[in-house]
């Protein structure tokens, strides 16, 4: 069965960077785009960007341009999202999700990774 398993919770200081991993199994990793979505406590879903695991091509929401980098290691079917220059308002749960073909719905989600930014 398809699974996306994310790395564990992180606590970072303001100005630091965080790198979250997302390991895919149960399907061919290079076939579907991986997207990252975050959610602050009690808030809505915020789309951050996408990555094509086959080509490595990426696209980022304007809000995160210059601060986010999405990469992958196809040999271990793992996607990564690195966010730099962290601020307290980056405290959120970060999800990786697979975009299915056709109308690109996000059909499988990781369990989420809590990133806490605090001095």
**Residues in contact with other proteins by the rule CB under 8 A:** 33, 35, 37, 44-47, 50, 59, 61-62, 95, 97, 99-100, 102-107, 109-112
Is residue 116 within 8 Å of 14, Cβ to Cβ?
A: no
Report the residue number, 17 or 101, with the smaller CB distance to other proteins. Answer: 101
Q: Which is nearer to other proteins, 100 or 116 (CB)?
A: 100
- Of 37 and 117, nearer to other proteins (C-beta) is 37
78 or 97: whose CB is closer to other proteins? 97
Query: Least distance from C-beta 119 to other proteins, angstroms?
Result: 27
Label residue 102 exposed, middle or buried (CB < 10 Å: 0-12, 13-18, 19+).
exposed
Least gap, CB of 16 to other proteins (angstroms): 25
Tokens at residue 4, please? 């996306």
CA distances to 3, 7, 100, 109, 118 from 97, rounded to whole Å, are 10, 14, 10, 4, 26
Round to whole Å and give the CA distance between 96 and 114: 12
Question: Smallest distance, Å, CB 23 to other proteins?
Answer: 15
């Amino acid at each position: 069965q398809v699974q996306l398993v994310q790395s564990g919770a992180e606590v970072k200081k303001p100005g630091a960077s965080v790198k979250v991993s997302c390991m895919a199994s149960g399907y061919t990793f290079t076939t579907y785009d991986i997207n990252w979505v975050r959610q602050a406590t009690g808030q809505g879903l915020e789309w951050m960007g996408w990555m094509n695991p086959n080509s490595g091509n990426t696209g980022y929401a304007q809000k995160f341009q210059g601060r986010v980098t999405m990469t992958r290691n196809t040999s271990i079917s793992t996607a990564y999202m690195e966010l730099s220059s962290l601020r307290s308002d980056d405290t959120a749960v970060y999800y990786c999700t697979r975009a299915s073909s056709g109308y690109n719905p996000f059909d499988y989600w990781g369990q989420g990774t809590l990133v806490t930014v605090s001095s």
